[in-house]
A = this chain, B = another copy of it.
Amino acid sequence: MSEKRKIIVIGGDGFCGWPTALHLSKLGHDITIVDNLSRRRIDKKMGADSLTPIAPVKQRLTAWTEATGLSLGFARIDVAREFGRLTSLLASVKPDTIIHFGEQRAAPYSMKGINEKRYTVDNNISATHNLLAAVTGLGIDPHIVHLGTMGVYGYDDDGIEIPEGYLRVYIPGEDRRIVQRDILYPTNPGSVYHMTKSMDQLLFQFYAKNDLLRVTDLHQGIVWGTQTAETRLDERLINRFDYDGDYGTVLNRFLMQAVVGHPLTVHGTGGQTRAFIHIQDTVKCIALAVENPPAPNGKVAIMNQMTETHTVRDLAALVKKHSQAQVAFVDNPRNEAAENDLRVCNRSLIDLGLKPITLAEGLIEETQDIAQKYAHRCIPDMIPCVSTWTDSQRPGVVKSAA
């Protein structure tokens, strides 16, 4: 480690936040977790639960100290609603870096109904803006690292490689002159959740320009995998494995369906190509971003935090190979293109030294050490996606089996 930093991890009890906090603590940084525990509350409300047993916060913190001798600070603050407490914490910690995971992060949950749409917008926008307003109000200058999403780019399938945040375009101007601009990639979010991260981009853009805040926005692919080197140290440190229709991403739901003997339900044709990254690589990427703050030059630094692309159909085939499960094609509850191609630039993090874990390598561990080991905790009824994108759509009925 080049330098010991005081780091606040907002959302540090969540799926990405928790292993990030541990990883940065292990690297020698001084970590304070801020979380309102909303993810635990949403689980209770939905009657869902992580397949892996998530220890109460106090046990998690104690286990980390017992396993490593290191300690983590913790403050239960709702960043979207407790501005005064957020400001006080920032004033007393004076962080070098703030990592902001403090947002509702599931696309299907954000489309579940009116209340979930409103919660996602109000919560996510106020959380991000409160952070920016608190930092500028205090006159402090931490590097802000934000977890964005590849979903802000959308899936316009016209042969353009997704760049890292900025797109060079050419525009016919006066006197037959061609004007060149490097613009924020025009967003085309596919859910209310993804829309909030597109709106976050405008918040960061403004504060980077007006107040010269240093911001790194990491547009992350779909995260798979459960454990990192640090979460494996003690079962009380184990990370979340969500498999329900709202919070469980596609690979986890396939793994659970394979374990409980249900066909793998592919939405539509399964031709949707998406970007992926392993949770172990997520925490490494964030550490790389922390170590490499941008200059205060008025511009947000944007990196694509993903390592490989797959179609949903290929993911199903991969899981089927390990499990002999069937594959079933069902109606797509989402409002999205049936098939798309996807090429993504991820040069920045690779150049900073990231060595990706491939899905082919990591899948066996996920199957054996997580899905099979904790299969007794699975509630099969939670697996299907029942949040539909528009009223005319109804949740998936099996149409054909392959």
Contact = CB atoms under 8 A, between A and B. Distances in A.
Nearest to A200: B199
Interface string A145-166: 0000000000010111100000
Given A122-B126, A125-B121, A189-B206, A160 B184 contact: no
Interface in A125-145: 125-126, 129-130, 133-134, 136-137, 139
Contacts of A209: 188, 335
Interface residues of A, number: 53
Contacts of A113: 137
Number of copies: 2
B117 A133 contact: yes
A181 interface: yes
Contacts of A181: 156, 158, 186
Contacts of A117: 129, 133
A210 B173 contact: no
A135 to B, nearest CB: 10
A361 interface: no
Interface of A: 83, 113-114, 117-118, 121-122, 125-126, 129-130, 133-134, 136-137, 139, 156, 158-161, 167-175, 177, 179, 181, 183-184, 186-189, 192, 195, 198-199, 202-203, 206, 209-211, 335, 389-391
B210 A389 contact: yes
Contact of A391 (B130, B139, B391): B139
A186 B189 contact: no
A199 B130 contact: no
A199 B137 contact: no
Nearest to A169: B169
A133 B114 contact: yes
Given A122-B126, A139-B391, A211-B390, 13 more contacts: A114-B133, A114-B134, A118-B130, A121-B203, A159-B173, A159-B175, A160-B179, A169-B171, A192-B206, A195-B203, A199-B202, A209-B335, A210-B389
